[in-house]
Amino acid sequence: MKTGIIIIFHNREEEIDKDFFKDHISKANDVEICLVNNNSKDNTYQLLKEISEKCKNVSVVNINKFKTGNSAIRAGARYLVNQFNLREIGYIDTSLLLPNHKELNNILKVIIEEHDEILKYKKQVSQQKKIKQSMFQCVFSLQECMMVFKNEHQVVSFQE
C-alpha cells in the first residue's frame, strides 16, 4: 500500500539535500511525497521543483501566501488524495526540525525503511480513536510517530 508523505518547507533552502532525495527517495516505490512550499522568500521553491523533476514519486505544491502549518498540511493532503487517492498520509513540518538537513534526511530514511511498522502504528492509533476517518483525519504526524518508535522500540535514531 502506498503512503503519502507531506513535507512542509518555509525558507529552508540551506537545509535541502537534493542529492539525498535523488539517491534515496526516488527509489522508494511505496511512497508518494508532496513537498509543500509555504511562501518561501529564498530559493526553496526552485530546489523543490528540481527535486520533483528528478524523482518521479515527488510532487510540489506551491502556496503563494503564507499559511499556518495546518493549512499547508491540508493543501498537501488534498493534493495527495486528489492525485493518487491515498488514504495513509503522514507529514513532516520542517520548521520543527533542527536547522540542518541531516535530521530531515534521517527521518525520511527511517520512514522508508520502517514503512510497514509506521502503518501498523497508525492503524493502532486509529483503532483506539474509533473514529470514521475523513480525508484530514487520515493525516498523521511522522515526527510524533518517530518519537513513539524511539521510545517504544529503540530502533529509530534520527538526530546526529
Work out how many domains the chain is built from and give that number. 1
Identify whether 9 is part of a domain. Answer: yes
pLDDT tops 50 at residue 158:
no
Q: In this predicted model, what pLDDT tens digit does every residue of 64-85 receive, in sequence order? A: 999 999 999 999 999 999 999 9
Q: In this predicted model, what pLDDT tens digit does every residue of 128-150 receive, in sequence order? A: 765 555 555 578 888 777 777 66
Identify whether 73 is part of a domain. Answer: yes
C-alpha Rg value of the chain to the nearest Å: 15
Identify whether 158 is part of a domain. Answer: no
Report residue 88: phi and psi, to 5°.
-115, 110
Q: Which domain holds residue 136?
A: 3-153
Identify whether 147 is part of a domain. Answer: yes
Identify whether 159 is part of a domain. Answer: no
pLDDT band at 159 (very low <50, low <70, confident <90, very high): very low
Q: Hey, what long-range contacts does 143-149 have (CB within 8 A, 24 or more apart)?
A: 143/92, 143/93, 143/96, 143/97, 143/107, 145/90, 145/118, 145/121, 146/107, 146/110, 148/121, 149/110, 149/114, 149/117, 149/118, 149/121
Identify whether 24 is part of a domain. Answer: yes
Stated pTM of the model: 0.85
Q: In this predicted model, what pLDDT tens digit does every residue of 12-22 receive, in sequence order? A: 999 899 999 88
Identify whether 42 is part of a domain. Answer: yes
88: domain CATH number? 3.90.550
Identify whether 160 is part of a domain. Answer: no
